[in-house]
Amino acid sequence: MRRSVYNTPASACLETIALVLAGGAGTRLKSLTQKHAKPAVNFAGKYRTIDFSLTNCVHSSIRRISILTQYKSHSLNTHIQHGWNFLRHELNEYVELLPAQQRVKSEWYAGTADAVFQNIDIIAEQEPRYVLILAGDHVYKMDYRDMLQDHIRTKASLTIGCVEVPLHKAREFGVMEIDTQNRIIGFEEKPARPKPMRGSSDQALASMGIYVFSWPFLREVLQRDAEDSTSSHDFGKNIIPSLIATAAVFAHSFRDKLTGRAGYWRDVGTIDGYFDAHMELLETRSSLELFDGHWPVLTYQPQLPPTQFTHDDDGKHGVVYDSIVCDGCLVAGAQVKHSIISSNVMIGGDTQIENAILLPDVEIGRHCRLRNVIVDRGCRLPERTVIGQDHAHDRRIYHVSPAGVTVVSAELLEIEIGEVA
């Protein structure tokens, strides 16, 4: 992703603060979020999902960033403290954590809008002109200056980032209708029967959960919503639909600058979405450019030794095909195909792994067979473990997704080992 030339005044970026919503429970990711907030879930072997939104902010020259946390935030907090502490407060740039504190009312965050409202005094202290609101659990590379430029040019009160998605998948998102000037004239959150976008029968225009608000307007809207006892205090369900007829609400279409096609954006909030996004990385020409030196994805990296492929005691050599393997791994006499191997993973001899995601600190014993599986962080699989070949058997212990992906967690693995013993 190459940087572009922008007409957006540099002052506009300096007058913008970013709020990253990272407080959701993430229940659709099953055991992957049993101990972690959704934005802290690993992605592509070495990143956390929140790294993509934070990286976009830094490369977009938006360097006042607050992360709103709530559920199971310890690992997320640790990651931010270790990997995102390089901005300089004395230069008025920062990445700060804003845990739920019940500052405004004696309740936890009731929805996305309420999370922002409960930090309204902190936002006001920063005196922003624009507020960029982001989700912390989407994977994409985007220069927010394009969207900010559109917001300024159209004199919008609210600008919503949107992307084209297949119509059959649109029911998972907020779906909008726009006129010829990109003004939003209709918006429905997760509709049962999504409306196709103008000029296409099989595509819909979906909200990316990215919003640019002019700050005075946002403050007024949040205050009004907080006083509405019938509201669920959510941007997609309440705030946006209420503004379509009365305010200047515009869409910013996210497109690849080189091809003109819809930009790469993935919601990895479900097991199948998470798995598919990883398998896409293994394509010969992945749409997510992780090797792009112009827009590197920033993260915290622990100090680990180089990965080693070696033979086991029987003389079989470790072989890896069409895979991503991170630092600190040892593949001893195993065969790995079309898989993502995260950092500090040990794989024993005569083990066969295919279409798998192994998260950090996993140990796989000898003679194992794993296929179409996600193995959660820290799991220890004993010798001769077989997963992914018999879904009926797997479902008795593990979660198996609608598309047939088996998710292995340490807790469920202990249950199976106990039953075998």
CATH superfamily of this structure's domain 308-420: Hexapeptide repeat proteins (2.160.10.10)
Q: Which fold has domain 10-281?
A: Spore Coat Polysaccharide Biosynthesis Protein SpsA; Chain A (3.90.550)
Segment 10-35, tens digit of pLDDT: 789 999 999 999 987 778 898 899 88
CB-CB contact of 86 with 80 (8 Å): no
Where are the CATH 2.160.10.10 domain residues in the chain? 308-420
Q: Is the pLDDT of residue 415 over 70?
A: no
Percent residues over pLDDT 70 in the chain: 95
Mean pLDDT within 182-189: 96
Segment 82-130, tens digit of pLDDT: 999 999 989 999 999 999 877 666 678 889 999 999 999 999 999 999 9
**More confident position, 258 or 63:** 63
pTM of the model: 0.94
Q: Per-residue confidence at 1, pLDDT binned at 50, 70, 90?
A: low
Alpha-carbon distance of 416 to 414, in angstroms, equals 5
Percent residues over pLDDT 90 in the chain: 81
Quote the tokens at residue 193: 């029967």
Nearest CA to 352 out of 382, 326, 318, 377 is that of 318
Quote the pLDDT of residue 28: 85
Quote the pLDDT of residue 421: 41
Where are the CATH 3.90.550.10 domain residues in the chain? 10-281
Q: Is the pLDDT of residue 76 over 80?
A: yes
Segment 304-346, tens digit of pLDDT: 999 999 988 888 888 999 999 999 999 999 999 999 999 999 9
Quote the pLDDT of residue 258: 76
